[in-house]
Amino acid sequence: MTDLLFVPAFTLWGSPTTWLEIAAVALSLAMVWCNIREIHWGWPLAIVTSLMYFALFWRSRLYGDASLQIFFAVVALWGWFQWLRGRRDDGSPLRIARLSPRGTAWTVAACLVLWPVTGLFLAHYTDTDVPWWDAFPTAASLVGQYLLGRKFIENWAVWLVVDAVSVGLFLYKGLWLTVGLYAVFIALCVVGWREWARKA
């Protein structure tokens, strides 16, 4: 059954594109559209696409990104709850907001700490050929997912950087359809950033 997921639908620039990758791309676009529009159904879509990309990335030996997908699937449940029932520290409903200068500093610090920790783990405990390159989007995505769940506008800035680095990573791995998806994600990050800034 698992092998059916990886049956090539077509070949793109010398690399096979599977039906699994096609479905994951389509659902991912729907997920980001929901995020931009503040529609909570983006979170269950995140669970499904995360599990699909786990299988795809694991097969491509992108273990950091693969493991991240499991994290995304679990955290999507938390994010879904936050968007439905979440509150700010003062008890007000969870609405789009900006990080304080201190929050921004903590965001940058978290990325700078998580990147080498993730890179060292991947370099020593997996057979990945791109430990540090794989580690950066993995580490920054943890931060981005938290910011998205708490509706901070700056999540779009983090995703913009993650997506730009990921485009290069997936180019190297020959995941051409996913390269296209992440290129579209870059544009959607700009759209999301502007939309959330307008709402704020």
**Residues 75-123 pLDDT 10s:** 899 999 999 999 988 889 899 999 999 999 999 999 999 999 999 998 9
For residue 160, give the H/E element and its range: helix 155-173
Separation in Å, CA 118 to CA 64, 125, 131, 134: 8, 11, 8, 9
- Give the pLDDT confidence score for residue 9 in this predicted structure: 63
CB 125 within 8 A of CB 58: no
Alpha-carbon distance 199 to 38, whole Å?
Answer: 10
φ/ψ of residue 12, rounded to 5: -125, 115
Mean pLDDT across 23-49: 95
Share of the chain above pLDDT 70, in %: 94
- Give the pLDDT confidence score for residue 161 in this predicted structure: 97
- Give the pLDDT confidence score for residue 193 in this predicted structure: 96
Among residues 120, 145, 154, which one has the least CA distance to residue 68?
A: 145
